Structure formats: C-alpha cells, structure tokens
C-alpha cells in the first residue's frame, strides 16, 4: 500500500513578527502529532536550495523565520501561513531588541550594530535602525500576498485573539479535529506520549504512530502555555520591560516613539510597503 503523500506544512515569518511565539506553539503541536519540524532562521542556512535542505532533514513542517518569496516559490507542494506586522511597530521592536535583548550568537552584524546604537540617542538610533532593517522590509515588499495555499495573518490580530488565530491556522493546515468520541481521544493521547518520548534520529516515527491531527483543546492549551504573561515573566501586554525579548506585546507602539522626522523618513522609504500591507490609513502621527 502506497503511503499518503502530505503537503509540506509551513510557517513563513519575518523578524520581530511574533516568530518566537508562533514557533513555540508549533513545536508543541509537532511533538504531539509526531511531525518533524525544520526551523530556518535566515537565508544563509538555505544556501541557495531550500528544497534540498527540507529533503535532507525529512521535515514535515517548515518554520522559516525570515522568509523570502523566491524560496517559497521554489516549493511545489506547500500549505502554510504567513505573518506580517505594521512595519513601523516592527522597527520600534527591532530597535529595543537590537539595543538590549536579542542574542548575538550566529548574527555577525548585530554586535557592531548594538555598539553603534549604544552611542546614539533614541531619535538617531531609530534612524539607523531603518537602514539595518532594510532586508526585512524588502522581504515583506517582495512577498506574494495572493498565494491561495498560504493563509495571510497579521500580528495585530494574533495578539488580540491568539486562540481564534491558531484555530484558523490549524484548520488551514488541516491539523485540527474536534473529536468527541473517547477512543479517538485515547488513541491521540497514546500516540502523543510515544512522540514525546521519541527523539528524532534518522527520521520520524512510522506513520502509524503519527496522528497528523490534534484535538482543539490540546492545541488551545499550547497557545495558553505560551501566552504573553507567561513568556514575559508575569507582565500583561502593555507593561514594558525594554530588557526583555517580549518587551511590550501591543500594536501601535510606534506612535509612542516616532517623531515627525521618523514618520516623514519612513513614509519616504517605505510608504509603498505601508500601502501594500494596508497600514497607511492607520497613521496617526504627523506626516
């Protein structure tokens, strides 16, 4: 009997667009379902051929944390979701993260950039950050937002309603089931326990021990276990700690940090991106 071929499941993200939050939840879902997860942090890992990297790892799920459209386009059988954020909020989040909290290991350019930010005021630091984040904005600019196989999501909706957002994600990925009969639930629990005890070596568990679906309550518990308050040391969204990776957790914070100079320069450089993503009408600072 020929095994059923499943599409590659994928999360396509961008720097400072809730990638760590999403990845933590995906890891729990993949462990429960017996799916092998491949995480790509940057285009350097791809080395020109993302398909070979996926085939070599025998991954069922891809988490591409800083995605480029041309790499997505090279993958034929994919079903995934893509996360974006107001680029101005992304810039502010990146500024504080690069100045204080983001780990420098594996990122050759960040230590020197951090030292430069330390010597600048916030006013000038945000201007420098516009240059540093240029590759992220270019990746968002070049993305195809009309891909019928990719569910498009916004950071703003994710943080305001993470539970419904992940219901939508898992339904789109065909991972979610609302099983009401006890035998099905018990079978999932047995498979999940086996998957959690297993350490992926040369390949995943045999297909008969992999569920490829997760009960709704189990998925929602993964979201709850990774909520902002827990990841941020008990703080609620909006309570700021500039030294923490989960600094504030709310949209629209750019209004608290952009000056007229920042707004004008950002609109000059990236006004087309704001327009493309539908954020241009949300501007409340002077232009």
HEC string of the chain equals CCCCCCCEEEEECCCCCCHHHHHHHHHHHHHHHCCCEEEECCHHHHCCCHHHHHHHHCCCEEEECCCCHHHHHCCCCEEEEEEECCHHHHHHHHHHHHHHHCCCCCCCCHHHHHHHHHCCCHHHHHHHHHHHCHHHHHHHHHCCCCCCCEEEEEHHHHHHCHHHHHHHHHHHCCCEECCCCHHHHHHHHHHHHHHHHCCCCCCCCCHHHCCCCEEHHHHHHHHHHCCHHHHCCCCCCCCCCCCCCCCCCCCCHHHHCCCHHHHHHHHHHHHHHHHHHCCHHHCCCCC
Question: pLDDT tens digit string along 196-226?
Answer: 555 444 455 555 555 577 888 888 999 998 8
Residue 287 has pLDDT above 50, yes or no: no
Average confidence (pLDDT) over 104-118: 92
CB atoms closer than 10 angstroms to residue 147? 16
Which residue in this structure is represented by tokens 């629209």? 252
Close Cβ partners of 226 (under 8 Å, ≥ 6 residues apart): 21, 24, 25, 28
Question: What is the architecture, at CATH level 2, of domain 8-282?
Answer: 3-Layer(aba) Sandwich (3.40)
The pLDDT of residue 286 is: 35
Residues β-bridged to residue 243: none
Q: What are phi and psi of 62, to 5 degrees?
A: -110, 130
The torsion angles phi and psi of 154, rounded to 5 degrees, stand at -115, 145
pLDDT above 90: residue 146: yes
31: which 2 tokens?
């462990």
Assess whether pLDDT exceeds 90 at residue 44: no
Q: What is the mean pLDDT of the chain?
A: 83
Is the pLDDT score of 245 beyond 80? no
Q: What percent of the chain has pLDDT over 70?
A: 76
Q: What is the pLDDT of residue 167?
A: 95
Check: pTM over 0.95? Answer yes or no. Answer: no
Q: What would the mean pLDDT of 94-106 be, rounded to a whole number? A: 89
Cβ(232)–Cβ(246) below 8 Å: yes
């Amino acid at each position: 009997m020929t095994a059923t071929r499943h599409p590659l499941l994928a999360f396509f993200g961008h720097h400072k667009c809730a990638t760590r939050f999403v990845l933590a939840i995906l890891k729990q879902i993949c462990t429960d379902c017996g799916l092998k997860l491949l995480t790509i942090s940057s285009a350097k890992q791809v080395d020109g051929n993302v398909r070979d990297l996926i085939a070599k790892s025998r991954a069922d799920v891809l988490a591409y944390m800083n995605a480029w459209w041309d790499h997505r386009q090279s993958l034929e059988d994919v079903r995934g979701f893509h996360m974006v954020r107001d680029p101005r909020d992304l810039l502010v989040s990146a500024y504080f993260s690069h100045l204080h909290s983001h780990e420098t290991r594996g990122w050759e350019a960040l230590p020197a950039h951090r030292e430069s930010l330390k010597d600048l005021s916030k006013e000038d630091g945000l201007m420098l950050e516009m240059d540093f984040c240029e590759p992220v904005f270019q990746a968002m600019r070049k993305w195809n937002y009309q891909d019928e196989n990719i569910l498009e999501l916004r950071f703003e909706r994710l943080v305001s309603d993470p539970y419904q957002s992940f219901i939508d994600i898992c339904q789109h990925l065909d991972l979610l089931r609302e099983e009401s009969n006890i035998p099905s639930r018990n079978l999932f629990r047995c498979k999940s326990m086996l998957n959690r005890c297993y350490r992926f070596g040369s390949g995943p568990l045999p297909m008969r021990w992999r569920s490829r679906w997760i009960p709704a309550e189990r998925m929602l518990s993964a979201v709850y276990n990774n909520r902002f308050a827990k990841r941020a040391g008990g703080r609620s969204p909006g309570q700021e700690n500039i030294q923490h990776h989960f600094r504030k957790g709310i949209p629209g914070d750019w209004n608290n940090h952009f000056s007229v100079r920042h707004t004008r320069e950002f609109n000059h450089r990236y006004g087309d991106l704001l327009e493309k993503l539908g954020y241009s009408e949300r501007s409340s600072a002077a232009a």
